[in-house]
Structure 1
Amino acid sequence: MIRYALICDSAHEFEAWFRNSGDFDAQSEGGLVECPQCSSPNVRKGVMAPAVSTSKTEKAPDPQKAMMEIAGKVRSHIAKNFAYVGDKFATEARAMHEGDKPERAIYGETTPAESKALADEGVPCAPLPAPFVPPQAKKLN
C-alpha cells in the first residue's frame, strides 16, 4: 500500500491510499479519483516526504500498558494526598461545600442518586474510573 498526498484543481489537499503507483495512475485516468471536498476529478499527486525505514525497529508502545502505568501513578497520588472517607463521601463533600467543615482532598463511595444530588447542588466531585481507585487505606473515623 502507498499513501499519496493529493491536490485537486481547486487546491484542496487530501490523502488517499493505493495498492501501488500504477493503481493511482489507472484510477486517475479512469476518473475514479476525485476530491472529497468539491468532487473534481482533476487530481494530481502533491509533494510528500517518503516514509523511511531504518534498520532499528522501534516497537510501538502498548496502549493498555501505558494506561495502567498512568493509572498506577494516579492511584499513588490519590492515596498519598487524599483522605478516604468511605461511604460518608456525600456527607463530607456537602459539609465542606457548605462551609461546615474545612476543605480537604477526599475520596470515597457514593450512590448514583447521591452523586446526582451533589452535582445538582453544585458540589464539585467526579467519579474515579476503577483502575484509578486506590486501596482504601486511610479510613476516616
Structure 2
Amino acid sequence: MKVLDLHCPLGHVFEGWFASEDDFQNQLQRKLVQCPVCGDHDVTKRLSAPRLNLGAQPSAPRTPAGSGREAAAQLPPAAELSPQAREHLQALQAAWMQWSRKVAANTENVGDRFAEEVRRMHYGEIDERAIRGQASPRQAMELMEEGIGVIPLALPEGGSGKLQ
C-alpha cells in the first residue's frame, strides 16, 4: 500500500492511498483522483517521508472561524507556510470537508434536474425538501430573477461518501 502526499493547484494538501505507483498513475490518467476540498483533478505528488507511528497522539486540529476556496486560493503553497500557518490551513481544510459532508448527507442530489425541482418546490407543485444539484449560470440567473434563492457551492464529487 502506498500512502502519497498529494496537492492541487490551490495548495490543498491531502493523502491518497494506492495499491502501487502504477495504480496511482492509472487513476490519475483516468481522472479518478481529485482534491477532496475543491474537486480539482490537476493533482500532483509531493515529496513525502515514510509514516512512523511511535505512539504519540496527535493534537486535534482547532476549528477555524471560517473557511472557503477563496481563502485557500490567496495562500502561498503549503510548503512555504510556517508550521502554525500550515496547521491552520489543515484545520480550514478539515472544517470545509466536515461541512461539505454534512451538506451532502442532509440533501438529496437531483443532479441536472436542480432548476426544474427547485422551481416546482417554489411554486408549490411538490413538497419542499433539501436538495442540491447542478445548474448552469444562466439557469441560476433565471431562478434568481424569479425570486428563487439559490447558492452556488463547490462540493467535492465524493462528498457524500468516505474519502481516504
Given the two structures, how large is their TM-score scaled by the length of structure 1? 0.49
Larger radius of gyration: 1
Give me the TM-score of the superposition, normalised by structure 2: 0.43
Which of the pair has the greater relative contact order for Cα pairs under 8 Å at 6+ separation?
A: 2
